[in-house]
């Protein structure tokens, strides 16, 4: 099925992981976007694609969208999943957990505190491991977001995405995907909260334009989309109060929206803290596409699973 959708090479299924966006070549990323469109428009065609395939979902942190869209995606593709909530590797070594799970299930989806946990799961398990958010990356979110931009603007090449706030996991994944697809990525953050310089270099090495600034207005000038995320991510709760003060000039509000073009869309991975990184007016404005992003988590993850497991 996969080979008929594109002439570009497809992953050798079951031998690869999605530890981070770095695992996706440009062709693979384009292929996922193409397949997401097919899966979204003709879901019934894929209703048995994961027949008798089972996945383990591991969650060290809370989730609404990621957990439910993976569970639903797997079921709607004809497979099933089991979910474990809690720390991975506390009760027994992670290398043993990985080698139990790969005897029972065909893939592992994991949301973790440390990227090292994803890397270790991938190196010990014989089945694909998908990163469902770590301290460094959120690749499944970025796939849905880029697909949402493609739906809105058709052509991705040359689009300008401005990210305002913490140069963290979501920003890293978006930056890497934008760079792969010849989009311009601008990130405005308080000093000391810039993206990881190693990941910025990796994005630039893909040929992408990445602008790092501390001026939100510079970032949104002529941008096609503005994106934000919470100021204190899961695991940073103790810093929340201090971050409120530091990030205050980085709120996406009507004044910042007015500094961009009238067609500029507003994006958020959710959950949103209204009154902090974004105002209620902006989340509810006609240019807000954050619920399209949430919907597309389902379709993009179906495409990812098909590519890895079908
Ligand atoms: N955007 C996102 O990953 O949402 P959850 O934390 O609810 O999964
Ligand atoms: N940066 C946020 C994203 C939540 C989807 C976090 O890691 O908590």
Q: What is the pLDDT of residues 102-127, one digit of tens each?
A: 999 999 999 999 999 999 999 999 99
pLDDT recorded at residue 240: 97
pLDDT digits (tens, 9 = 90+) for 140-186: 999 999 999 999 999 999 999 999 999 999 999 999 999 999 999 99
Measure 63 CA to ligand 2 centroid, in angstroms: 9
Mean predicted confidence (pLDDT) in 289-305: 98
Indicate if ligand 2 lies below 6 Å from the C-beta of 269: yes
Closest atom of ligand 2 to 169 CA is 1
Indicate if ligand 2 lies below 6 Å from the C-beta of 272: no
Helix 139-153 with 290-309: angle, nearest 10 deg? 120
d(C-alpha 74, C-alpha 70), whole Å: 6
Closest residue by Cα to residue 80 from 300, 297, 305, 303: 305
pLDDT digits (tens, 9 = 90+) for 39-91: 999 999 999 999 999 999 999 999 999 999 999 999 999 999 999 999 998 99
For the annotated catalytic residues, the residue numbers are: 111, 138, 141, 229, 269, 297
263: Cα separation from own chain's centroid: 23
- Looking at all shown ligands, the one closest to residue 65's CA atom is 1
Measure 193 CA to ligand 2 centroid, in angstroms: 15
pLDDT recorded at residue 199: 98
Indicate if ligand 2 lies below 6 Å from the C-beta of 229: yes
pLDDT digits (tens, 9 = 90+) for 254-295: 999 999 999 999 999 999 999 999 999 999 999 999 999 999
pLDDT recorded at residue 10: 56
- Give the single-character DSSP code of 14: T
pLDDT recorded at residue 310: 75
- Give the single-character DSSP code of 231: S
pLDDT digits (tens, 9 = 90+) for 7-46: 444 555 444 899 999 999 999 999 999 999 999 999 999 9
Indicate if ligand 2 lies below 6 Å from the C-beta of 234: yes
Indicate if ligand 2 lies below 6 Å from the C-beta of 240: no
pLDDT recorded at residue 1: 35
CB < 8 Å & 24+ apart, contacts of 238-243: 243/166
Structure tokens at 246: 């530091």
Mean predicted confidence (pLDDT) in 300-307: 96
Query: Which residues form ligand 1's pocket by a CB distance below 6 Å?
Result: 63-66, 133, 141, 269-270
- Give the single-character DSSP code of 250: G
pTM greater than the 0.75 cutoff: yes
d(C-alpha 29, C-alpha 231), whole Å: 28
Structure tokens at 155: 């052509």
pLDDT recorded at residue 251: 98
pLDDT digits (tens, 9 = 90+) for 200-226: 999 999 998 999 999 999 999 999 999
pLDDT recorded at residue 269: 98
Atom 6 in ligand 2: residue holding the nearest Cα = 233
Contact 88/58 with Cβ under 8 angstroms?
Answer: yes
Closest atom of ligand 2 to 65 CA is 5
Measure 269 CA to ligand 1 centroid, in angstroms: 7
Asked if the model's pLDDT at residue 3 lies above 60, the reply is no
Q: Is the dihedral angle over the CA atoms 63, 115, 144, 307 positive or is it negative?
A: negative
d(C-alpha 192, C-alpha 177), whole Å: 23
Measure 52 CA to ligand 2 centroid, in angstroms: 32
pLDDT recorded at residue 16: 84
For a mutational test of ligand 2's pocket, the pick from 118, 166, 170, i.e. the residue with the most ligand atoms closer than 8 A to its C-beta, is: 170
């Amino acid at each position: 099925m996969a080979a008929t959708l594109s002439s570009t090479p497809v992953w050798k299924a079951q031998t690869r992981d999605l530890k981070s966006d770095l695992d996706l070549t440009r062709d693979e990323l384009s292929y996922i976007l193409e397949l997401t469109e097919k899966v979204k428009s003709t879901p019934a065609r894929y209703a048995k694609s994961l027949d008798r395939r089972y996945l383990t979902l591991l969650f060290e942190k809370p989730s609404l969208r990621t957990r439910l869209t993976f569970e639903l995606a797997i079921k709607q593709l004809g497979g099933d999943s089991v979910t474990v909530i809690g720390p991975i590797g506390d009760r027994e070594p992670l290398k043993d957990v990985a080698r139990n799970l790969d005897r029972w299930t065909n893939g592992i989806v994991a949301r973790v505190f440390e990227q090292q946990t994803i890397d270790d799961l991938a190196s010990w398990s014989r089945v694909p491991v998908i990163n469902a958010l770590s301290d460094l990356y959120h690749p499944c979110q970025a796939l849905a977001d880029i697909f949402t931009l493609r739906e809105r603007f058709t052509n991705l090449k040359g689009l300008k995405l401005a990210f305002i706030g913490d140069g963290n996991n979501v920003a890293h994944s978006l930056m890497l995907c934008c760079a792969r697809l010849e989009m311009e990525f601008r990130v405005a953050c308080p000093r000391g909260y810039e993206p990881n310089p190693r990941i910025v270099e990796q994005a630039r090495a893909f040929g992408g334009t990445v602008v790092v600034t501390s001026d939100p207005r510079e970032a949104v000038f002529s941008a096609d989309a503005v994106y934000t995320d919470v100021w204190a991510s899961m695991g940073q709760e103790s810093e929340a109060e201090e971050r409120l003060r530091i990030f205050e000039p980085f709120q996406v509000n009507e004044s910042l929206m007015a500094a961009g073009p009238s067609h500029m869309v507003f994006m958020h991975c959710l959950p949103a803290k209204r009154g902090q990184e974004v105002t209620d007016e902006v989340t509810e404005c006609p240019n807000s596409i954050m619920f399209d992003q949430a919907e597309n988590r389902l379709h993009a993850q179906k495409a990812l699973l098909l590519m890895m497991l079908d």
